[in-house]
Structure 1
Amino acid sequence: MLSDKLSPMKAWKIGDELKFCLGADVGGSGIRFCLTNFHDQSQRIEPGHMKTKNVHEFYKVISDFSKAIQAVAPGAKCVGSSFACAGLRKGDTVQVMNWSGSAADQTIKIPEIDQTLYPAHHSVMLNDLEAGAYGVVSLSETNEADSYFTKLWGPKGGNVVSKNGHTIVLAMGSGLGAALIHNDLWTNTSVVIPTESGFLLSAPRCTEHRTYNDDVRNINYVSDHYYKGEHTPCFEDLASGRGLVIDYDFLLGHPSGWSAVQIVELAKKGDEKAKLAMKNHYIYFLRCAKQVAYGMHCKSVVMALSNQVANKWLIDEIRNDLEAEFKDTSAWKAAQGISVYSQTKDVNINMIGTNYMAHFAARNAI
């Protein structure tokens, strides 16, 4: 029962006060909450997944959860809150595109969230990968990052979150997300800047490069599919779940009807074209990564989230090809000084990031 899961928080009471922080990871099928003791972040309660498929259920789940907390620990006060949403942010609204119904049914109006769990001036709404990047920051600050991320290549030493430059965190899922960890040398702080770098335009090599013909044919195939051959595809069109599907279709010469999950399973079973499609969509992933890394003066590139962990079998096999791709550039001198990391152990870094920012919000007026 939910009350049994929440019961340990009663021990967080100091004097007459019980203060807690709340992290929430909002996805297409529901919400995952994590409560932490305001005085000790290591003390946490994760009650599990709660289903929501539209904004009305979202508001109700939060209200019901608040009531459940008060039933277990009367007077308990949420002093900081952070929600991560996979959605389009506009002003005080977030549209969760994976929810069902109309745009109104998909749109969270932030001022209407129950303030007992989203306190005014002490709460933040984050993009999902923005939260993930703060999760990487949190793991770095607690010296746990090396337990979850492995360096694939780069200079000796260094850190997952660079102390000498900025860090770009990228993830492939249904789309291609990227968030910049800005390292402020003057204040010794890390600030995450969400980006839309997945929408950078792809480009083939020049005519004398060995991959030119394949690049042009692949990119034109994707352009024909999405843009009637009129526009250059963005990297997300090539390096994402849907990118994997169309990369595979290109190799077949016709639509396969397979989903990304099915193509991955084919690759694991030894289907050469499925495996090549997976390799190619990682090649485009690295092309996007290096453009952002060069342009944003990054010293560290972090490929993150659960898909990266699940694809470790492939990463290990094509690691040398990925390094060669990353360093095959006119800016080859800059490439030598950048370390590239891959997540190799699963953990919900979005949730870690929301907890981190919930405690920041508790200590600072937003």
Structure 2
Amino acid sequence: MISDKLSPMKSWKVGDKISFCLGADVGGSGIRFCVTNFHDPRQKIEPGHMKTKNVHEFYKVISDFSKAIQSVAPGAECLGSSFACAGLRKGNTVQVMNWSGSAEDQTIKIPEIDRTLFPPNHSVMMNDLEAGAYGIVSLSEMKESDQYFTKLWGPKSGSIISDKGHTIVLAMGSGLGAALVHHDIWTNTTVVIPTETGFLLSSPRGIDHPTYKEDVGNINYVSDHYYQGKNAPCFEDLASGRGLVIDYDYLIGRPSGWTAIQIVEQAKKGDAKAKLAMKKHYIYFLRAAKQIAYGMNCKSVVMALSNQVANKWLIDEIHKSLEHEFKDTTAWKATQGISVFSQTKDINVNMIGTNYMAHFAARNKV
């Protein structure tokens, strides 16, 4: 029972008060909570996945969870809260596209979240990759990032969260997400800025480049598919789950009808074109990474989240090709000073990030 899982909170009392922080990772199928001791973030309780498929269930789950906490630890107070939400943020609303029902059924109205677990002026609502980037910041500060991330190439002194410049965290899933970790050298502070740089327009090689013909052919095929050949595709059109499907279709010369998952499965079984499509969509991933990193003065690039871990078998195989792509640029001197990291072991960096920001929100008015 949930009350049994929450019972350790009783030992968090300082004086006559129990103070805690709350992190929450909200996805298409439900919520995962993490309750941490305000006085010692290492003391945490994760009660498990709670199903929600629309906003009405979302509000109820939060209200019920608040009641469960009070039944175990009467008077316990949430001092800071942070939610990561895989959805579209507009003002004081977030639309979770993967929830069922109408747009209204999918839309969280932030002021309507139970204030006992989302206290005013001490709560933060983030998108999922923003939270993930803060999770990586937290792991770096705790010196635990090496357990989950591997440096693929770059200067020996380069760290996962650079203190000499900024860091870009990238994730390929159904789309191509990017979050900038901005490091202010004057105040020595770190702030994550969500970006939409996955929508930067792609560009082919120069006409004399050895891969020009296949490169421009792939890009034009994607342009024809989405934009009737009138506009260049963005990097997300090429480097993402849907990008993988179109990259594969280009290689076989027709729509396959396969999903990205099916292409990955065939690649693992030895299908040469499926494997080449996976390689090509990673090539475009690195092409986007170098443009974003150079343009934003980043000294570190982090390829993160579960898809990156799942594709480790491929990354290990095409490592040299990816490094060559990253450094094949007019700004090649600048790329020599950029470290590139890949996540190799699963951990919920989103949850770590929400815990990190919940404690920040508890200590500061936001």
Q: Any gaps of 5 or more consecutive residues in structure 2?
A: none
Does residue 235 (structure 1) correspond to residue 249 (structure 2)? The answer is no
CA deviations over 1:30-62 (Å, ceiling 9, x no partner): 111100000011111111111111111111111
Does residue 60 (structure 1) correspond to residue 60 (structure 2)? The answer is yes
CA deviations over 1:212-269 (Å, ceiling 9, x no partner): 1111111111111111222111111111111111111111111111111111111111
Does residue 218 (structure 1) correspond to residue 218 (structure 2)? The answer is yes
User: Which residue matches 2:190?
Assistant: 190
Q: How many residues align?
A: 366
After the TM superposition, which residues 106-185 of structure 1 pair with which residues of structure 2 at under 5 Å, given as runs? 106-185=106-185
Q: Do 2:33 and 2:47's aligned partners in 1 also have CA atoms closer than 8 Å?
A: yes
User: Which residue matches 1:330?
Assistant: 330
SS of the residue corresponding to residue 53 of structure 1 reads coil
Does residue 320 (structure 1) correspond to residue 325 (structure 2)? The answer is no
User: Which residue matches 1:6?
Assistant: 6
Q: What amino acid sits opposite 1:305 in the alignment?
A: L
Which whole-Å CA distance do the structure 2 matches of 1:58 and 1:221 have between them?
41
CA deviations over 1:302-323 (Å, ceiling 9, x no partner): 0000111111100000000000
More off after superposition, 222-231 vs 49-58? 222-231
SS of the residue corresponding to residue 150 of structure 2 reads strand
SS of the residue corresponding to residue 47 of structure 1 reads coil
Which whole-Å CA distance do the structure 2 matches of 1:12 and 1:267 have between them?
50
After the TM superposition, which residues 197-212 of structure 1 pair with which residues of structure 2 at under 5 Å, given as runs? 197-212=197-212
CA deviations over 1:131-175 (Å, ceiling 9, x no partner): 000001000111111111110001112211011110000000111
Which whole-Å CA distance do the structure 2 matches of 1:32 and 1:266 have between them?
33
After the TM superposition, which residues 91-110 of structure 1 pair with which residues of structure 2 at under 5 Å, given as runs? 91-110=91-110
User: Which residue matches 1:345?
Assistant: 345
TM-score (norm 1): 0.99
Q: What amino acid sits opposite 1:92 in the alignment?
A: N
Q: What amino acid sits opposite 1:52 in the alignment?
A: T
CA deviations over 1:2-48 (Å, ceiling 9, x no partner): 11111111111112100100000111111111000000111111111
Does residue 29 (structure 1) correspond to residue 29 (structure 2)? The answer is yes
Q: Any gaps of 5 or more consecutive residues in structure 1?
A: none
Does residue 258 (structure 1) correspond to residue 258 (structure 2)? The answer is yes
CA deviations over 1:180-201 (Å, ceiling 9, x no partner): 0011111111110100011001
Which whole-Å CA distance do the structure 2 matches of 1:174 and 1:12 have between them?
41
Q: Do 2:82 and 2:354's aligned partners in 1 also have CA atoms closer than 8 Å?
A: yes
Q: What amino acid sits opposite 2:359 in the alignment?
A: H
SS of the residue corresponding to residue 264 of structure 1 reads helix
User: Which residue matches 1:50?
Assistant: 50
Which whole-Å CA distance do the structure 1 matches of 2:177 and 2:24 have between them?
19
Q: What amino acid sits opposite 2:138 in the alignment?
A: S
Does residue 20 (structure 1) correspond to residue 20 (structure 2)? The answer is yes
Q: CA deviation at 1:206?
A: 1.2
Q: CA deviation at 1:352?
A: 0.3
Q: Do 2:158 and 2:338's aligned partners in 1 also have CA atoms closer than 8 Å?
A: no
Which whole-Å CA distance do the structure 2 matches of 1:54 and 1:211 have between them?
47
SS of the residue corresponding to residue 347 of structure 1 reads coil
Q: Do 2:133 and 2:192's aligned partners in 1 also have CA atoms closer than 8 Å?
A: yes
Which whole-Å CA distance do the structure 2 matches of 1:211 and 1:99 have between them?
42
Q: What amino acid sits opposite 1:312 in the alignment?
A: K
- Work out the percentage of aligned pairs sharing the same amino acid: 81
Q: What amino acid sits opposite 1:35 in the alignment?
A: V
User: Which residue matches 2:89?
Assistant: 89
User: Which residue matches 1:40?
Assistant: 40
User: Which residue matches 1:249?
Assistant: 249
SS of the residue corresponding to residue 181 of structure 1 reads strand
Which whole-Å CA distance do the structure 2 matches of 1:253 and 1:67 have between them?
58
Which whole-Å CA distance do the structure 1 matches of 2:49 and 2:241 have between them?
24
Which whole-Å CA distance do the structure 2 matches of 1:254 and 1:101 have between them?
34
Q: CA deviation at 1:301?
A: 0.3
